[in-house]
Structure formats: structure tokens, C-alpha cells
Amino acid sequence: MIYQEKAIQKENLEKFLHTLDSDEGVRIDNESDHVFINKASKRYCINVSVDNKDEFIYKNSADEVMGFLKNYLKQTTKIVTY
């Protein structure tokens, strides 16, 4: 199976999170850290990877995810859906 990545704007991130399917994901790239977001049946899984160390955080709604991501969304952030 081939998947395609698509860049999205920060302004569209919350809307995309609301409609995220279980076979889709979001990657947020910064210079020193990466954040991966997936959605299981009832909650979101956020994988924060800094210096090859992973931390998993779980949130129940897109609003909670957006609140958590405030520290990771910077001017130079690249957001990609896959």
C-alpha cells in the first residue's frame, strides 16, 4: 500500500484532527522534535519524539490535543498528514 503525505497549514490542523480516521496520522516537524498524532477508536495518541526518546500521551478530544500542541507549534513548524 502506498500512502501520500500532504502538507497542511497550522490553521487547518484542528479541523483535520476532528476528521482523523484510524488509518491516517499527522506529523509535526520542528528542528529538534517530532510529534506524531494518530486516533484510535476513542482517543488520540500523541507520540512526542525528542532526541530519539519517545513519550506517549493520550487525549480524548481534538480540543485537548490542540491545547497540548501549543508548545510544539512554532513559526517554522512543518505539518504533514499521511
Residue ranges per structural domain of the chain: 6-75
Q: What tens-digit pLDDT sequence spans the chain (82 residues)?
A: 566 899 999 999 999 999 999 889 999 999 889 999 999 888 999 999 998 899 999 999 999 999 999 989 999 999 999 9
Question: Whose grid coordinates read 483535520?
Answer: 16
Task: Give the cell for residue 11.
Answer: 490553521
Element (H, E) at 59: strand 53-59
Beta-carbon-side half-sphere exposure of residue 70 (alpha carbons within 13 Å) = 4
pLDDT of residue 2: 64
pLDDT of residue 51: 87
Report the candidate in 22, 4, 26, 24 with the shortest Cα–Cα distance to residue 13: 26
First-to-final CA distance of the chain: 12
